[in-house]
Every structure is written in C-alpha cells, then in structure tokens.
Amino acid sequence: QRVLNSSGSKIYDANTNALAADITLSNLVSGETLNHSGTATLSSANAGSYTISNLTGISIADNAGLASNYTLTGGTHNFTVNQKAISLSGTRLYDATTDAVASDLTTISGRVGTETLTLSGTGSVANVNVASNKTVTVGTLALGDGTGLAANYTLSGGTHQLTINQRPLNATLARQYDGTATSAGSTLSSFDALQGGETLTMSGSGTAASVNVANGIAMSSNGDLGLVDGTGLASNYSLNSTVINITQRVLNSSGSKIYDANTN
C-alpha cells in the first residue's frame, strides 16, 4: 500500500476536531483521487501547528483510485489551527484627537462561544472629526486573556471601527440689562466643553426667561442661536443649552447749580 500524507487547517473554534473537509491528502499516484471522511483529533484546541499520528478518525474510500491501494498509517499528517480574527467597534465624543482608546472600543466581535477577551492600548483614526464607523488603525491595541486565550485570536484581518459623536456644549451669554429678553449670540461669554484649546463663536439670537439682572437665566427658546466655526469646526459640537448672565446697567449722570459756596 502507498502511504498517504496529509495537511490541513482551520480557524480556531475551541474544539480539537480536524474535519475531513479541512484536510487535503497527498502522495497519491498521479491522476488518482480518493474520498475521505470523518474527524481526526488534535492534541489541543488552541491555535498552533500539530502532527496527527496515523490520522485516526479519518477513513479513505474509492474514487478515481482504489482505497485498498493506500494507507494513512505511517504518513506525515500536519494540521494548523489559525488564530481567529477579532473585530472591534465603539463610540466616543469628539475630543480633538485621532485616538481610538481601548476603553472606547467596547464591542469585541468574533469570539468563540462565551469566551471573553480584554483589550488594551490605543489605535488611531485618520482625522479628528465627527463621523460614523471611522476605520481604526491598530497601533498599540492588543488583546489580553479573559476566559479565552488571546493567543487564539488576532486583530489582523478584523474590521475595526470607531464612531465619533458631536460633543454637547453649554453656552453662557453675558450682557448688561437692557430691558429686553432678546439676547444675541454675539454676547457669548464662554462654552463649557471646548476641546484641545479650540474656539467657536455663536450666531443668531434667542429669548431669555427673564429681562432682569441675574446669573444663569435660561434661554426659554434657543431661537436661531447657532454654533459658528472658530479655530475648531462647529460640526464637531452640538448646542445643548444656553444661559445668560445679565449684569446691572451702569448709569452715567450730569447736572448743574448756581454757585452757593458749598460742595453739595
């Protein structure tokens, strides 16, 4: 009988099965083929390269050759379990950086069964701006053991995406009392959450809940108040709320009298 060799591979699946469908027979006489079926057993479920003695569990059958002319016993039977590709996804608020931090990539897809993994490090996206499903370059991102072994998985070949959402801003306007409730965006005093030293301005006007002097008066309607590009892009932010600080109006005065020899 002619001794057959074999080789095969599969993606890590947490079991020790080496299925006939994943195995290729070799050392057949030119032009002859055989069918093979069954399941061989690996010494470990983990990713790695294995030798299977005699390919126990796999049987051969006639096709364009006679199985009785061949044997699997004594052949070289190699099988590789390849790492399974993991995909990452997540979201964060705009922060003026291209960082894709592990703590933002909270969805780890592609794990086998109930196995868990950890993630550390920082990847990057192509630019800082708000957008959905931005491609993440792996950088220093690395898988760590959970209930599953990180060595059985790889980030290579996975789809890694980060969605950057607009950062909400709270705006504070400031002006002197003028007897009206109308407040223009041009009276902007500050925003609470601009990132990376960026600046924005405001356009339009809104209506304050009160005309009187006070701090933190809510704008009962934001009206047509809008964010305008400064050193940062307005599209990376959203206007969450607006309040106004109305300060006392400074009065001037003038007067006169006829000289009366006193300072009154």
pLDDT tens readout for residues 88-140: 999 999 999 999 999 999 999 999 999 999 999 999 999 999 999 999 999 99
- Residue 232 has φ and ψ, to the nearest 5°, of -105, 165
Note the pLDDT of residue 186: 95
* Percentage of the chain modeled with pLDDT above 90: 97
Note the pLDDT of residue 126: 98
For 140, which DSSP code?
T
Note the pLDDT of residue 67: 98
Q: What is the pLDDT of residues 200-245, one digit of tens each?
A: 999 999 999 999 999 999 997 666 899 999 999 999 999 999 999 9
Q: What share of the chain is helix, strand, coil (3-state, %, to 5)?
A: 10, 50, 45
The whole-model pTM stands at: 0.89
Note the pLDDT of residue 222: 60
User: What integer is the mean pLDDT of 31-36?
Assistant: 97
Q: What is the pLDDT of residues 177-205, one digit of tens each?
A: 999 999 999 999 999 999 999 999 999 99
Note the pLDDT of residue 120: 98
Note the pLDDT of residue 220: 77
- What are residue 221's DSSP bridge partners? 207
Answer whether 198's CB lies under 8 Å from 214's CB: no
